[in-house]
Amino acid sequence: MHISKPKSPLEQLRPVLNLLADGEVHSGESLGAALGVSRAAVWKQLQKLTHYGLVLESVKGRGYRLPGGLNLLSSDAVEAGLDAAARDLLRQLIVCDEVDSTNAQLLTRLERDDGHGVAMLAERQTAGRGRRGRSWISPFSAGINLSIGWQFSGGVQLLEGLSLAVGVALARALEEFGVPDVRLKWPNDVWCRGRKLAGVLLELSGDLTDRCGVVVGIGLNVGLRGDSAAAIDQPWIDLHSVRPGIDRNRLAAAMLNRLLPLLRSYTEPGPERGFSAYRDAWLALDQFAGRPVRLQSASREWCGTAAGVDSSGALILDMDGERKLFHGGEVSLREDGE
Ligand code: BT5
């Protein structure tokens, strides 16, 4: 006997969301008829939408609409945008309405030896993660929350500089859609016009000296709504404010088209292996190049001039003529005076 999982509250709202996604006015009656429920039941569902940060407009005497509509994710639409190389490398694409964290889900899959080549996209994360216990704010349909699982042999040192290379791949994907002023901030941010547009979170599993797995997680803001964004404690930006109208499914596909081959070339022997193939591109996009910066770790801070990254992706700081290298994600970078 097949017992299906009970639907989450958000999944229960999917049918009404699908109807309202066109941004047009729908009467309570027509919604009720399409959904096969009473008008009172429709009203109850509509009230729940606000819980997910969606702004429902009531148009007097005519019905309801979601101004601007919704550009919902669909696995078919993402798959349609994949090129041959990405199709070849992608073993499974999962598109879901709501999860705790796409990275957490894929880590579990990797631990079960079932996460390689799996990509997961979620409309909403209830516990989206940043680095070192921080959170990633990911309200319903407001961005791209994407994780990819990848398994490989040869130990974790092969991944040196990977978060920077992922940044380069994201910048290239954004350029395809004409997004202007994209820059990278060491070690894992994509910025636009001096504010954070996207973040990258790498998480590891398995035997770090041999056969191991990495989850590449990316959160990118497409259209953040005011209320939910209030919790972000640093300057942020979304694509709507710089280049409105980008289709999330096409953008997600463009990201996969670049990230899947990147993961293969990074972890398999060949001329493209490792960060050196991406270094020049990273330097050309460096948000802080030549600027005075402050670098903080849990216990110390350093001041100097940002002088790019070396061939392993380590940050170079110029401090009174002396160059010092900084590795890993233990530090954060701020402009002086911030
Ligand atoms: C990151 O961490 O920037 C990595 C974010 C990775 C998120 C993706 S979403 C898919 C996958 N599944 C997950 O659970 N995570 C990944 P970090 O450098 O630690 O930055 C976190 C900081 O960014 C927070 O402390 C806030 O200051 C800020 N922040 C949080 N949400 C943001 C948002 N939506 N836009 C811009 N900044 C945000």
Does the annotation flag 102 for ligand binding?
yes
* Domain positions in the chain: 9-65, 75-281, 289-335
First and final CA of the chain: distance in angstroms?
60
State pTM to two decimals. Answer: 0.94
The torsion angles phi and psi of 319, rounded to 5 degrees, stand at -120, 105
Whether the CB of 232 sits within 6 Å of ligand 1: yes
Whether the CB of 115 sits within 6 Å of ligand 1: no
What is the pLDDT at residue 332?
55
Whether the CB of 329 sits within 6 Å of ligand 1: no
Given ligand 1 and candidates 108, 136, 232, 333, which is best to mutate, with the most ligand atoms within 8 Å of its CB? 136
The torsion angles phi and psi of 33, rounded to 5 degrees, stand at -65, -45
What is the pLDDT at residue 2?
57
Is 62 in the active site?
no
CA 129 to centroid of ligand 1, rounded, Å? 6
What is the pLDDT at residue 294?
87
Does the annotation flag 209 for ligand binding?
no
C-alpha–C-alpha distance, residues 163 and 215, integer Å:
11
Omega before residue 15 within 30° of 0, cis:
no
- 75-281: what fold? BirA Bifunctional Protein; domain 2 (3.30.930)
What is the pLDDT at residue 197?
98
Is 334 in the active site?
yes
Question: Do 9-65 and 75-281 agree at the fold level?
Answer: no
Ranges in the chain, pLDDT < 50? 329-331, 335-338
Whether the CB of 219 sits within 6 Å of ligand 1: yes
Does the annotation flag 234 for ligand binding?
no
Q: Residue 153 is encoded by which pair of tokens?
A: 């042999």
Residues 315 and 333: beta-carbon distance below 8 Å: yes
Whether the CB of 240 sits within 6 Å of ligand 1: no
Is 7 in the active site?
no
The torsion angles phi and psi of 124, rounded to 5 degrees, stand at -150, 140
Whether the CB of 34 sits within 6 Å of ligand 1: no
Q: How far is CA 65 from the centre of its chain?
A: 28
- Domain 289-335 classified CATH 3.50.50.60? no
CA 232 to centroid of ligand 1, rounded, Å? 9
Output the CA torsion 305→325→280→171 (10° steps): -80
What would be the CATH architecture of the domain defined by 9-65? Orthogonal Bundle (1.10)
Does the annotation flag 108 for ligand binding?
no
Those residues with Cβ within 8 angstroms of residue 222's Cβ, 6 or more apart along the chain or in another chain: 71, 142, 143, 144, 238, 239, 240, 246, 248, 251
What is the pLDDT at residue 4?
64
Locate the ligand 1 atom nearest the alpha carbon of residue 122 and give its number.
10
